[in-house]
């Protein structure tokens, strides 16, 4: 079966703030099958689940602040996501003071292994989402490798393709090195050519106008059991809703 496509709702966060129901409905009408939430919850889980059901969308995950998966908050977090119907609790970054050395990243790997075991009892998984710093060498190794070479297979490698490219990495070698780990993956476009003078400008092209090896990415994801493709667009080159619609249309053309 084809891998379903969701949108990271951070891409359209201002539209969500203005009109939550209408924006989710617009996403569904574009053809997205799910949405991935982010940040600290601003609405009750039951309300969000009702809106997703109303719009015909699935919850493709949540970018969980690191604070909310600590022991003092974990029971509350689990209860919220059970009610929402979300099983993917993905941490989208670690506070800088906790990732200063390779030893720090090894401690984080141990933390995520333990968290994975705790969530498994509830039918949930955790994972980690990259920015660009994870691909900048630290104490002789890329933090990405320090982390994923020391975490269990159950810890999701949520590769953000565009962020990795901004850090000088490429998606295909990463997916090849860690087969089966990208349970969900961020399909974020990036162009090194556009970002030559300003790395952030590399995010301006939409999917298909970038320098991602999309067909190779699709093959590796299909072979590796990826459960969700998640589109994220991180530029103001287009209005947010227009941008995610363009990216979805381009993805479907690429997929044939």
**CATH code, domain carrying 223:** 3.20.20.150
Query: pLDDT for 171-204, tens place per residue?
Result: 999 999 999 999 999 999 999 999 999 999 999 9
HEC per residue, 158-210:
ECEHHHHHHCCCCHHHHHHHCCCCCCEEEECCCCCCCCCCCHHHHHCCCCCCC
- What pLDDT, on the 0 to 100 scale, is given for residue 256? 85
Q: Per-residue pLDDT tens for 15-60?
A: 999 999 999 999 999 999 999 999 999 999 999 999 999 999 999 9
- Mean per-residue pLDDT for 127-155? 98
Q: Which domain holds residue 15?
A: 5-255
The model's pTM: 0.97
The reported pLDDT for the residue numbered 71 is 97
DSSP per residue, 42-64: -S-HHHHHHHHHHHT-EEEEEE-
Angle at 172 between CA 160 and CA 218, to 5 degrees: 80
Looking at the predicted structure, is the pLDDT value of residue 1 above 70? Answer: no
- Tokens 């990826």 belong to residue: 226
Q: Number of folded domains in the chain?
A: 1
In tens, the pLDDT along 50-109 reads 999 999 999 999 999 999 999 999 999 999 999 999 999 999 999 999 999 999 999 999
What is the predicted pLDDT for the residue at 188? 98
Contact in structure between 235 and 198 (CB atoms under 8 Å):
no
């Amino acid at each position: 079966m084809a891998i379903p496509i969701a949108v990271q709702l951070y891409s359209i966060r201002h539209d969500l703030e203005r009109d939550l129901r209408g924006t989710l409905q617009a996403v569904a009408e574009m053809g997205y099958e799910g949405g991935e939430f982010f940040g600290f919850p601003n609405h009750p889980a039951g309300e969000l689940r009702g809106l997703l059901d109303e719009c015909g969308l699935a919850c493709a995950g949540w970018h969980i602040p690191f604070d909310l998966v600590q022991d003092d908050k974990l029971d509350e977090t689990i209860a919220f996501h059970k009610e929402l119907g979300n099983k993917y609790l993905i941490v989208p970054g670690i506070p800088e003071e906790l990732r200063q050395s390779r030893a720090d990243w090894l401690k984080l790997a141990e933390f995520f292994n333990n968290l994975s075991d705790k969530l498994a009892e509830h039918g949930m998984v955790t994972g980690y989402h990259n920015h660009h710093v994870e691909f900048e060498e630290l104490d002789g190794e890329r933090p990405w490798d320090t982390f994923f070479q020391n975490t269990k297979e159950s810890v999701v490698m949520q590769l953000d393709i565009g962020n990795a490219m901004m850090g000088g990495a490429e998606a295909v070698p990463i997916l090849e090195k860690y087969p089966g780990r990208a349970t969900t993956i961020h399909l974020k476009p990036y162009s090194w050519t556009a970002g030559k003078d300003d790395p952030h400008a590399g995010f301006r092209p939409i999917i298909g106008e970038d320098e991602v090896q999309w067909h190779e990415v699709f093959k590796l994801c299909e072979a590796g059991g990826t459960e969700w493709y998640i589109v994220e667009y991180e530029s103001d080159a287009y209005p947010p809703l227009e941008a995610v619609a363009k990216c979805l249309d381009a993805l479907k053309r690429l997929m044939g």
